[in-house]
A = this chain, B = another copy of it.
Amino acid sequence: MTTTETPVRRITTAKAMAEGIGLEMRRDPNVFVMGEDVGAYGGIFGSTTDLFAEFGAERVIDTPISETGFIGAGIGAAVEGLRPVVELMFIDFYGVCMDQITNHMAKIHYESGGSVKVPMVLMAAVGGGYSDAAQHSQCLWGTFAHLPGIKVVVPSNPYDAKGLMISAIRDDNPVLYLFHKGGQGLVWMEKNPRSIAEVPEDSYTVPIGEAAVAREGSDVTIVTLSLSVHHSLDVAEQLEDEGISVEVIDLRSLVPLDVDTVLASVAKTGRVLVVDEDYRSFGLTGEIAAIIAEQDPTMLQAPFRRLAVPDVPIPYARPLEQGILPTREKIAASVRDLMA
């Protein structure tokens, strides 16, 4: 990633996203934003904060509740050379527009034999933990990573949020940008200290397809992403006192997936726990198991472990939801089991 000399200040992930979009809008008149409540409201989860005031209704466009309509329109605009940044308010709403996303946005470049490009960013809020129940709390990144033709990025902190947004907007391919509501640093949600951090004011990119070693360790590898990175780092600090050295891999991108970084860490520690706020089966946790088992199952000194939502919809009541989310307590317990 490009480094920078300018002084840094601490901002939220939400602000960092909006700042990344704003920088690209100043730089390239073809960039514009579309979505529900992205205008004066600034995005329900702050992803377009202050953009409307600077760029106006022509470039920050509130849409009807017609996701198939405006995502399809984003595709058409991208095909004609614009660079739309389209917000799907919650990823949970994918079902009303999945055809445009996966049969069109994702496939046009390939179907056209490379003659048509679809340079578009589709951003959506993911995740639970605040009792928004079954239709507003999912992550679903495994669903999108399974379907070819879309790059999928999932930043976990303000620095990556800005850098990956700029990379996504400059990318000539459709990029799905998933941000966790609990990691946005919103004043009206549970405060998460890692959602506010130092972010350079000027422009920089974080490359798509590169995982980050969020914390080095030698005993166990936690492969994770998004808000679970925060929890995993908390657990790693706590377990250090118990003499367990945890390495935390923040995948940051799912498509392309940084297989090398994952394998290098597992080769080093010999123990792996995948922490995933998406559903357990047929998703990310399985993919990580597969790349390890394909490479060399004997890398694993202990059985593979995964901690994810146990294949039930996200329930409403706090004890129910906390019971199925990958909380710090469950992460710590899983690591201890792995070491036992």
Contacts and interface: CB of A to CB of B under 8 A. Distances in A.
A135 interface: yes
Interface string A99-127: 11111001100110000000000000000
Given A95-B100, A146-B279, 11 more contacts: A94-B99, A95-B102, A95-B103, A96-B98, A111-B313, A148-B311, A149-B313, A281-B287, A282-B286, A283-B287, A286-B288
Contact of A313 (B107, B135, B143, B303): B107
A107 B316 CA distance: 12
Number of copies of this kind of chain in the complex: 2
Contact of A279 (B110, B147, B279, B313): B147
Given A148-B279, A282-B284, A289-B293, A313 B142 contact: no
A306 interface: yes
A8 interface: no
Contact of A287 (B97, B100, B282): B282
Given A110-B312, A281-B146, A103 B135 contact: yes
Size class of A's contact patch?
35 or more
B282 A293 contact: no
A147 B99 CA distance: 17
Contacts of A68: 96
A294 interface: yes
A92 interface: yes
B146 A283 contact: yes
Contacts of A286: 282-283, 285-290
Interface in A285-319: 285-290, 292-298, 300, 303-306, 311-313, 315
A286 B257 CA distance: 14
A101 B289 CA distance: 28
B281 A282 contact: no
B283 A257 contact: no
Contacts of A103: 92, 95, 134-135
A133 interface: yes
A100 B94 CA distance: 11
A266 B87 CA distance: 45
A147 B110 CA distance: 27
